[in-house]
Amino acid sequence: MVDPIKLEIFKNKFSAIAEEMGVTLNRTAFSPNIKERRDYSCAIFNASGDMVNQAAHIPVHLGSMPMSVKAAIQNVSINPGDMIILNDPFKGGTHLPDVTIVAPVFTKEDSTQPLFYVANRAHHADIGGMSAGSMPLSRSIYQEGLIIPALKIMKNYQIDEDVLSLILSNVRTKIERQGDFAAQFMANKIGIRRISELIEKNSQETVVLYSKALMEYSEKIMRKTLKIIPNGLYLFEDYLDSDGVDDEKIKIKVGVEIKEDQAIIDFTGSSKQIQGSVNAVYAITASACLYVFRALVKENIPANAGCMSPLTIITQPGSIVDATYPAAVAGGNVETSQRIVDCVLGALSQAVPEKIPAASQGTMNNFTIGGIKSDSGQAFAYYETMGGGTGASLREDGENAIQSHMTNTLNTPVEAIEYEYPFRITNYAIRHNSGGNGLHKGGNGLIREFTLLNDAECTMLSERRKFSPYGLFGGENGKAGNNLLICKDKQIKQLPGKFSLFLKKGDKLRIETPGGGGFKKAQ
Amino acid sequence: MIISADTGGTFTDFVYVKDGKFKILKVLSTPDNPAKAVLKGKSMIAPDNLEELIHGSTVATNAVLERKGAKTAIIMNRGFEDIIEIGRQNRPELYNLFVKRPEHLVKAPLRFGVPGRVSKSGEIIEPFDFDEAKKVAGQLNDLKVESVAICFLFSFVNPVHELAMRDVIHEICEGPIACSLSHEIMPEFREFERCSTTVVNAYVQPIMKNYIGNLEKNIGDKNLVIMQSNGGRISSTTASKEPVRTILSGPAGGAVGAFEISKQTGYDKIISFDMGGTSTDVSLINGQLPINVESTVSNYPLKVPMIEIHTVGAGGGSIAYVDKGGALKVGPLSAGADPGPICYGIGNEITVTDANLYLGRLIPEQFLGGTMPLAKTRLERYFSNLSEQTGLSKVKLAEGICDIANTVMEKAIRVISVDRGYDPSEFTLCSFGGAGGMHACFLADLLNIPRILIPKDPGILSAKGMLLADCIRDYSKTIMVDYPIPKETLNDEFQELRKKAISDLSLEGIAPNDIFIDQFVDMRYKGQSYELIVEYGDDIRNTFDQVHEKRYGYSNKDKACEIVNVRIRAYGKNEKPDLDKQKQSNTAVDNDAFIFTKDCVFDGLVVATKVIDRSKLQFGNQLTGPLIIVEYSSTIVIPPSRTVRVDAYGNLIVGKKNGGF
C-alpha cells in the first residue's frame, strides 16, 4: 500500500538524486555551454525506460529523454559498468549537439536485468558538421555533425577508447568534449551510487513501488489540472518565418481537444517537413506539449511519465512537427519547439484566457561564432542563445529580456567572453518599446552587439523576424526581431533570420530580439 | 563591559561576560527603529561602563527585502545600462508562464550610461566622455539621487573611468551623494555579479550610515562594532561604507557561535543546524569557517565572501497538508508567529510544532518557562480530520510530519556535505535554534551522524558568536593568468592586497604584529567557468587538483589551469573571554532535575519518558534516552537509542547508546 508519508519522502529522495546528478554535471563539465548556460538535464528511469523523475533543467528534454533511453535499451544489451551514448534525433534525440548518456542501475542480487536507469543529456558546443558550433543552416542531417546511434561508450567500467576516439576525431574542440563527456559519466555514476544506497536502505520492492507511485501521483495531479479546463476543441495556427533555404513561411496548426481529464493535441494540417534545418522530430513536439501542460500545474510535481499519460499527441510523419530521416533538424529543437508552444498556448487561451499569456519572443536566437584565433592558431567555437520579451497576461505586463518557455540557459558574461574569445560585446541592453502595446504590455526584447576582433564564421538561427509574437484579446503584437550587419566601413546591411557568413575583423553584428505580445486593448 | 546585541524579529538578544560566565538578556525588538531596543539593552547592562558593543543588525538586509533603500542610480558603460535588470537572462522558475523578476532596486530612469571602455588588459579602447559624465551628474542632481553605484567593464583591471566618474559627481553634484565603486566593493570579473553587489551596497549605504550614526551618537563612535556576513566583525566606520558585507550576518553569527563553542568542547568538524520557526540554516564547518562567494539576496547575487549557509523552508511552523496527488506535504508554507501553530491557540493548520506536541515531545507546562500555555486539546479535531483524509492513524501522521520535515532538512545537509565531497558521519551535528533540539537526533540518524552537540543557551548562540568573532576583512582581485606564473608576479599581487589590508586593519585599531593574513587563489582548469578557492602555498597546482578531486570527484593533473583571482583574508584575533569551567565532575543527576515522567511516542510506540530540567544538570551527568530535556527557549528530545552527557561548560553531548560519544 502506498502511504502518503513515504510518497512524500521518496519524492524528495528521487528529486535529490536527479538534482545531485545535475550539480555534478554542472560542476565537472568543461565547456561554458554546460557550466555557465546550464544546457543539460538529468533524470531517473524505471526498468522499462519510463521516466521517474527529471530535475528541473531544460524543458525541451522533458518528453524526449525517455525516448532516447528506450532507444538505448532496446538496441544495446547492457551489463553492469556499461554506459550507452547516443544523439540520433530519430531515436528520441532532439538535435545532434544534445548527447545523451544512459547507464543502468543493477541490484547486487541480479546483474541481468537493470532495476533503474539514469541518464543525462548535455548540449555540446560542437559535434562536427559543416559549421562551427554544429547549429548550421543545413539541408540534411549529414551536414549537421556526427550521428551517434546507441553505442556502448563505457564497457565494464572502462571507457571504450575506440568509440571515444572516433567521436573526438569528428569534432572541432576535442579537449572540451572530452571534459564534458567525463562530466556526463560522473553524473551517471553519482546517480547509480545514490539509487543503490536508496535500495540498500529501503527494500528493492519499496523503491520500485514508490517509483511507480510517483508516476501515478504526477498523473493524478495532471488530470485534475486538465479537468478544470472547459471541454471543447480549440484551434490555433501560427507560422515559422522560413527554413533558411527559401523564404516560404511554414505553418504549424494545432487542435487541442479537452475531454474531461485528458487532452488530445492534434497537429494535422501543419506543413510538410522542409529542406532547411527547422524540422522538429516527434520527441520535440512531445516535449513542447508536455512543457505547456506541466506549466499549467501549480503544484511542484515530479516531471515524469505520469505527466504524459493524460496527453495524446497526433502528428503526421513527414511533417514539420514529426520529421523523418534524413531531414535537417538542428533548429527544430530550439526554434520550432518554441512555435509549437506558442500554438498550443494560443489554442488554450481560448479555453482559459486568464491562465495563458500572449506570445513570448518565440525564438532562442541561436548564435554561433567559430574560427581560428589569429594569435594562437587555436580553434574556437562559441554558442549562445538570447532572451527576449515575454507575453503580457490578464494579470500583468510581460517581463523584459529573459529566456522563455523551452529554454532557460544563462548568458555568458561580457567580461568572460572577452577573456576567452576573439570578439567583444559592444552593446547589451533592453530593446525599449519592443513589447506589444495593450492593457498590459508585452515585455521588451534585448539588443546584443558583437564586434569581431578576428575573422570568423558566424551562424544565426533565429525566428520571429517576420511573423511577430502575437498579442491576445486586442493586445498588439510584439515587435519582430532584427539582425543587422554593420561593416567596418559603417555600411549597414539587413540580414535574414537565418544566415551563415564569413565576417571580417572589425565587422559588427547587431541582434535585436523580439518583444512579447500585449494583452487586451490599451485604454 | 563588552556586549553583543543581535537584532531578531521578536527579540533583540544580548550576551556579555560577567564573573567568567556568559550572561544573557532578551529585550523585545523595535522593528520601526531597531536602535531603540539595542540602546535599551545597553543601558540595562552597562549604563556607563560600555567598552564595546558588537552589533548584528538586520537593517541592511531588511532595506533590500522590503525595498526601502535609498534612491539609487547606477552608472555603467554606455550601451550596458540594463545589465542589472537583464542579469543572466534566466528566469527563476522554469514552469511558470507568468514569471516576473522581483521588483528592481534601480529602475530604468535611474540607469545611466557614459561612453568609455577599458579592455581586458586595462588598455583604454574608448576614451571616457567627460561631457556626457557631467550631463549624467547633472541629472543625478535634478533627480535628487541619494546614492550611486558606478560599475564599468574591466574596472578591476583599470579603474580610471570609475574614479573619473566619481570625481565628476563630487564636482557637479550639490548634495552629498554616496558613491559605491565596483572595483572597490568587489574587484572581480563577471559584470552582472559585480554590478549587483555594488548596487546592493549603494542601495543600503545611506540607510546604514544613518542607523550607525544614530547609535554612535548615543554610545560613542569608538565603541560600536558591526558583525559581517563573513563571520568577522568590523568597525562601524567601515560598515557604513560597505554595508553589503553585513547582509545576512545573523545566521553568520550562529555559525561562528556554533564553531567557537564546539572548538572549546574539542570538536572542530561540525555541521551547524539552526532550526527556527519558518526555516532552517545549515552550515558545514571543517576546521575553519566555510566561505563562499555565491550568495544572493532577493535574487541579487552578492559576491562578497560570506559564511556558506544553506537555508530550507522547514521549521517548527511549517504547515502539513495533503496535496492534490495524495502526498503528505510539510512546508515551505509556515504558520509563522501569526496565526502560529494550532497549539498556540489561534492557528488552524497543523504544523511541525503541533506534531511534536501530539507525540508528547513538547511539554506544555515547561514551554517558554511555563509562561505560554499550549492548547493541546485543540489538536485532536485537526488531527482527526487529517487522519481521515490520509487513512493514517493520528500517531503515525504526527510521526510522519516530523519525518518529512527531517527529510527536507536532511536534503539541505546533503547539499552542503555529500554534494561537496564530505561524509557527514565524520562531523558533529551542532544543534541550536528554538526547534533544533526536537529534531537533531532524528536528523543525525538519517545522516549516520554519531554525535550531537547542543550548546548551552542554544537560543542566543548567534549573539554569543558575535561576542567571540574576530575582526576580519576580505580582499580579492581578478588577475586571470595561466598557471604557472612566476612566484614574484603572484607575490606582487598578494603584496598589493596585503598592504591595503594592513593599512585598513590598523585603522580598526589592530597593531601590525597582531594581524594574521591567509592567502588564497581562485583556480580552475582552463575552459571551466567556475573557480575553486585554494589555499596559497608552495604547490598550488597540486592543492588545486586535490580540492577539485574532493569537491567534484575527479582531477586532471595534465590539464592546463589558470588563476582567476587572488584573495586574502586578514584577521585581527579577538581575545576570547576566559570562561569558567566546572571543575568537579558529578555523575549523579540531582533529583531536582527530574520534573516528571510522561508518555511519548517513539517509532509508533508509547514509551514512559523522563522530563528533565536542563538548568539542574551538572558537569559529568550522564543520562540515557528516552528523555525530554527542557529549558527556557528550547526542548531537546533524546530518543531511546541515544545517551547524553553534560560537559564542563554545560553543553550537552549526545551519543549513541551502544557507540559512546
Order of strands, sheet of A311-314, starting from the edge strand that comes earlier in the sequence: A232-240, A250-259, A262-266, A311-314
What does the alpha-carbon distance between residue A152 and residue B534 come to, in Å, rounded to a whole number?
Answer: 37
What does the alpha-carbon distance between residue A400 and residue B453 come to, in Å, rounded to a whole number?
Answer: 49
The B residues from 101 to 160 touching A (CB cutoff 8 Å) are 101, 108, 119-120, 153-154
Looking only at the bridges linking them, the beta strands covering B224-227 and B52-56 are parallel
**In this prediction, what percent of chain A has a pLDDT beyond 90?**
84
Largest Cα separation within chain A, whole Å, is 75
Q: What is the pLDDT of residues A58-106, one digit of tens each?
A: 788 878 899 999 999 998 899 999 999 999 999 989 999 999 999 999 9
pLDDT reported for residue B26: 85
pLDDT-derived band at B551 (thresholds 50, 70, 90) equals confident
Distances (CA, A) of A176 to A30, A410, B46, B528, B557: 6, 19, 63, 9, 16
* Mutation to test the B interface, candidates A1, A6, A9, A188, most B Cβ within 10 Å: A9
Q: Average of pLDDT values for B206-222? A: 91
Q: What is the pLDDT of residues A348-395, one digit of tens each?
A: 999 999 999 999 999 999 999 999 999 999 888 888 899 999 999 999
Contacts A387 to B, Cβ<8 Å: 86, 89
DSSP string of B135-163, one letter each residue: HHHHHHHHTT--EEEE--TTTTT-THHHH
**Contact across the interface for A427 and B414, Cβ inside 8 Å:** no
**Contact across the interface for A59 and B94, Cβ inside 8 Å:** yes
Nearest-by-CA chain B residue for A408: B90
Q: Average of pLDDT values for B96-109? A: 92
Q: Locate cell 556526463: which residue?
A: A184
How close is the nearest chain B Cα to the Cα of A8, in Å? 5
DSSP string of A150-181, one letter each residue: SEEEEETTEE-HHHHHHHHTT-S-HHHHHHHH
Q: By 3-state DSSP, what share of chain A in percent is helix, strand and coil, each rounded to 5?
A: 30, 25, 45
Q: What is the pLDDT of residues B381-400, one digit of tens each?
A: 999 999 999 999 999 999 99
Segment (H or E) for B613? strand B605-613
Distances (CA, A) of B502 to A107, A458, B54, B117, B572: 59, 50, 22, 32, 10
Q: What is the pLDDT of residues A227-246, one digit of tens each?
A: 999 999 999 999 999 999 98
Nearest residue to B18 (alpha-carbon basis) of B37, B3, B38, B40: B3
**Identity of the amino acid at B457:** D
**Contact across the interface for A8 and B326, Cβ inside 8 Å:** no
Q: Pick B411's closest partner by Cβ from A16, A38, A399.
A: A16
Nearest-by-CA chain B residue for A399: B100
pLDDT-derived band at A26 (thresholds 50, 70, 90) equals confident
Q: Pick B324's closest partner by Cβ from A299, A426, A429.
A: A299
pLDDT-derived band at A119 (thresholds 50, 70, 90) equals very high
Nearest residue to A400 (alpha-carbon basis) of A357, A427, A431, A439: A431
Q: Which residues does residue A493 pair with via DSSP β-bridges, in sequence order? A: A485
**In this prediction, what percent of chain B has a pLDDT beyond 70?**
99
The dihedral built from the CA positions of residue B493, B499, B504 and B510, taken in this order, carries a sign that is positive
Check: complex ipTM more than 0.90? yes
Distances (CA, A) of B569 to B228, B259, B263, B289, B535: 13, 18, 21, 12, 11
pLDDT at A219 over 90: yes
DSSP string of A462-499, one letter each residue: ---SSSPPPPBTTPPPPPP-EEEEE-TTS-EEEE-SEE
Distances (CA, A) of B563 to A418, B107, B520, B529, B531: 16, 36, 10, 12, 9
The residues near B568 (Cβ < 8 Å, ≥ 6 apart) are: B474, B475, B476, B494, B497, B498, B501, B517, B518, B519, B520
The B residues from 506 to 535 touching A (CB cutoff 8 Å) are 525, 527-530
Residue B449 in grid coordinates: 551522524
Enter the DSSP assignment of B82: T
pLDDT reported for residue B558: 87
pLDDT at B15 over 70: yes
Task: For residue B65, count other CB atoms closer than 10 A to its CB.
Answer: 13
How close is the nearest chain B Cα to the Cα of A379, in Å? 13
pLDDT-derived band at B607 (thresholds 50, 70, 90) equals very high
Interior CA angle at B442 toward B440 and B444, to 5°?
65
What does the alpha-carbon distance between residue B429 and residue B432 come to, in Å, rounded to a whole number?
Answer: 10
How close is the nearest chain B Cα to the Cα of A211, in Å? 13
Burial (CB count within 10 angstroms: exposed 0-12, middle 13-18, buried 19+), residue B372: exposed
Contacts A221 to B, Cβ<8 Å: 323-325
What does the alpha-carbon distance between residue A349 and residue A336 come to, in Å, rounded to a whole number?
Answer: 20
Q: Which residues does residue B637 pair with via DSSP β-bridges, in sequence order? A: B628
Q: Pick A8's closest partner by Cβ from B328, B397, B414.
A: B328
Nearest residue to B93 (alpha-carbon basis) of A35, A70, A405: A405
Nearest residue to B529 (alpha-carbon basis) of A183, A185, A370, A31: A31
Nearest residue to B31 (alpha-carbon basis) of B239, B211, B300: B211
Q: Which residues does residue A158 pair with via DSSP β-bridges, in sequence order? A: A155
Phi-psi region of B359 (alpha: psi -120 to 50; beta: other; left: phi over 0): alpha
The residues near B526 (Cβ < 8 Å, ≥ 6 apart) are: B482, B559, B560, B561, B562
The B residues from 557 to 586 touching A (CB cutoff 8 Å) are 559
pLDDT at A32 over 80: no
Q: Which residues of B271-294 are buried (b: 16+ CB within 10 A; e: fewer)?
A: bbbbbbbbbbbbbbbeeebbbebe
**Contact across the interface for A428 and B86, Cβ inside 8 Å:** yes
Nearest-by-CA chain A residue for B83: A429
Order of strands, sheet of B147-150, starting from the edge strand that comes earlier in the sequence: B111-114, B72-77, B147-150, B178-181
The residues near B561 (Cβ < 8 Å, ≥ 6 apart) are: B482, B483, B523, B524, B525, B526, B541, B544
What does the alpha-carbon distance between residue B502 and residue A75 come to, in Å, rounded to a whole number?
Answer: 66
Q: Average of pLDDT values for B292-320? A: 92
What does the alpha-carbon distance between residue B355 and residue B374 come to, in Å, rounded to a whole number?
Answer: 13
Q: What is the pLDDT of residues A345-354, one digit of tens each?
A: 999 999 999 9
Which residue ranges form the domains of chain B, and what is each CATH number? 2-65+209-245 (3.30.420.40), 72-205 (no CATH), 471-572 (3.30.1490), 591-656 (no CATH)
Enter the DSSP assignment of A335: I
Contact B249, B635 (CB under 8 A): no
Segment (H or E) for B76? strand B72-77
* Mutation to test the A interface, candidates B74, B76, B94, B415, most A Cβ within 10 Å: B94
Task: For residue B23, count other CB atoms closer than 10 A to its CB.
Answer: 14
pLDDT at B660 over 70: no
Max mean pLDDT range (A31-45, A298-312, B11-25): A298-312
Q: What is the pLDDT of residues B477-505, one digit of tens each?
A: 999 999 999 999 999 999 999 999 999 99
Contacts B419 to A, Cβ<8 Å: 20, 23-24
Q: Average of pLDDT values for B230-238? A: 94
pLDDT at A216 over 90: yes
Contacts A228 to B, Cβ<8 Å: none
pLDDT-derived band at A8 (thresholds 50, 70, 90) equals very high
Q: Average of pLDDT values for B56-63? A: 92
pLDDT-derived band at B661 (thresholds 50, 70, 90) equals low
Q: Average of pLDDT values for A250-264? A: 98
Average of per-residue pLDDT values in chain B:
92
Kindly report which listed range (A197-211, A495-509, B364-378) carries the lowest average pLDDT score: B364-378
